[in-house]
Amino acid sequence: DLQAVAARLGAAIDAEPPAGARAAVLAAVRATPQESPAPSAPPVPLAPTSPNSSTSSTSSARGRRGGARWWALAAAVAIGAAVPATLLVQQVQHTRQVQAEQQQVADLLTDPSAVLVHQDVPGDGAVTAILTDHRAVFTATQMPPPDDGSVYQLWVVRDGQPHSAGVMTSDDGTVRQFADDFAPGDVLAVTVEPAGGSEQPTSDPIMVLSAA
């Protein structure tokens, strides 16, 4: 049962890299005018030695302008690729975060004190919590988004007193939050709070999860 839950939790936040990242970079390259390199200019003498010295200076200046154009081209390509490159970096960071969270979930599942709590969410959603003697994790799939200006907030309720475990952000309907300060007898509760979260709950819990 624990292995099946671990697989479901991992698949719930699986993500593919941006499909259009490579195409966007190549499109930026194609849209940038390409120029042939300027011909090599002969060395410029230290002092004019013949009437043709002015021609050499002109060729040198042309070469410098050609080099400047190549630098401008490289800058244009870099600017065109900046946005998709940023998306790729963000995707890599997100993937690493997901992998780290999956490892933390796996560690909790191997805890001898682990207790699984499951609850359905209206609209084919589901909530799964792993409760241990020292830590807990809350995961919900297909959660309806809260109203504008509101967020979901997770609470650890101990002896009737709620302690915030953090605001939960939705990733395509999936939310996950770890409660690092969890002890036997504690309860997890979720409320809808104003954006940014609250120091104390301002609404009744929409779900309550406990090991009992």
Fold of 115-209: Immunoglobulin-like (2.60.40)
User: Please, which residues have CB within 8 angstroms of residue 80's CB and are 6 or more apart in sequence?
Assistant: 25, 27, 28, 29, 31, 32
Residues of the chain with CATH 2.60.40: 115-209
Position 49 pLDDT exceeds 50:
no
Position 88 pLDDT exceeds 80:
no
What pLDDT is recorded for position 54? Answer: 47
Position 6 pLDDT exceeds 70:
no
What pLDDT is recorded for position 143? Answer: 81
DSSP three-state, residue 4:
helix
The secondary element (H helix, E strand) that includes residue 174 is none
% of the chain surpassing 70 pLDDT: 60
Pairing of strands 136-141, 161-168: unpaired
* Threshold 0.95, pTM exceeds: no
More confident residue, 50 or 42: 42
Position 198 pLDDT exceeds 60:
yes
Mean pLDDT for all residues in the chain: 75
